[in-house]
Amino acid sequence: MADIISFFEQVNRNFDKAAALTSHHPDLLTLIKNCNSVYHFTFPLLRADGSIEVIHAWRAEHSHHKLPTKGGIRYSLSVNEDEVVALAALMTYKCAVVDVPFGGAKGGIAIDSKKYTPQELERITRRYTFELVKKNFIGPGTDVPAPDFGTGPREMAWIVDTYVALSADKLEGTACVTGKPLAQGGIRGRSEATGRGVAIATREAVEVEEDMKPLGLSRGLAGKRVVVQGLGNVGYHAARFLEQAGAVLVGFVEYEGAIHNPKGLELATVWAHRQETGSMLGVAGATTLPSREAGLELDCDILVPAALENQITGENADRIKAKIVVEAANGPITSEASERLGERGVLVLPDHFVNAGGVLVSYFEWLKNLSHVRFGRLEKRFEEGAFRRILGAIEGATDKRFGAAEVAAITHGADEADLVNSGLEDTFVTAYARLREIRNRHRDKADLRTAAFIDAIDKIALCYGDLGIFP
């Protein structure tokens, strides 16, 4: 029953555990931990059938140590103030871990988006944006939303269009939100960024032989048995990149149930079946499990919960058979369950590192919008010309002759997607090495989650120290 505390309390419980291992002033730690501001508002919606519904919505800005604040907007019936504040806090720490210069924020509207027409969703989104503009809770230098559960590029396009219409800032207005369609100032690589980051983080973890030995695992992703919960944007792309790296997808869990094949399932087959039938149940070669919970408890090497929070709790933590749990969702493991898994020797890769790929590439999109130039546009052709001249010099000085395919591969200049993926890769590799170093420094007192909180706390504290607020 110890798990029955709020989501924000779960986050703060993990924060306090890490804060105890730092030497920062208690008042500074209180300042970092608490949410700066929350805006809860309601507005009426005229439905297509003529009825009027009252819509509840929130926007929370957890930390202003850096501006703008940053965080997604989710459309879900589970949205409430505690959830929004908790997710805003996680976003603060997430940005700090991957060195993105934003404070954390989050927003949400308590609706089931599937039960509204596109026209109704547009009116809801535009009214939500109007309310944020009115209270100065949105803007390129103030607060920059992004997609989350139940939202996507379409909603972001409505937001930017509404913001630009209302704001006097026409030049930088496109940077008021990220995750936009390409034609509206989006960036290549954004849709798969979080899933790609999950795969990179997992790859980095399993490449450390010192950490794999206690788990009875070999180095590398090849042959690792993976179960993925959630086939939304994050789960799908995480599964795709893990499969490409040689992992074996032995199970999937979704709201309609769970499927399993110990010899492996092809993501493309499962995805096509689900797109055609609306369910992954019944896909060829898969066994349907009795419950979604049974899917989380499958025997596997790596479990990737990529759905919603509180999926692994004190109630089922001891039945989790995975040796590595990769938190692709926000808060899928309660603080009590995380401790229980750690006691059993399970390696947990924490959410505010693992799923930071989305906010990282959102940062790149924000920079692109402010600079008004596509990444790679200035240097791509110049680089290709320089590489061709080098190959020509090699051919002129030797008997070596390069084929057309070889020339194309060697002389390829980096375009926007290449640069985005390079930045993603470098950030995750660097961040994971730093988290391991912090964990190892506190060997018996810190796991990777605590290490990530320590890293975030230290960086945020440094910002306040530089402002002269605390010594």
Residues 6+ away with beta carbon under 8 Å from 114: none
> Could you give the CA distance from residue 104 to residue 91 in angstroms, rounded to a whole number?
4
> Could you give the CA distance from residue 335 to residue 347 in angstroms, rounded to a whole number?
14
Grouping H, G, I as helix, E, B as strand and the rest as coil, residue 326 is strand
106 is catalytic: yes
Q: List residues bridging with 227 in a β-sheet.
A: 251, 303
Q: What share of the chain is helix, strand, coil (3-state, %, to 5)?
A: 50, 15, 35
DSSP 8-state symbol, 246: T
Long-range (24+ apart) CB contacts under 8 A made by 162-167 are 162/125, 162/126, 162/129, 162/130, 162/133, 163/129, 163/133, 163/138, 163/139, 166/129, 166/130, 166/133, 167/133, 167/139
> Could you give the CA distance from residue 443 to residue 186 in angstroms, rounded to a whole number?
42
Looking at 106, 180, 224, 368, which residue is catalytic? 106
How many Cα atoms occupy the beta-carbon half-sphere of 229 within 13 Å? 31
Q: Which residues are catalytic?
A: 106
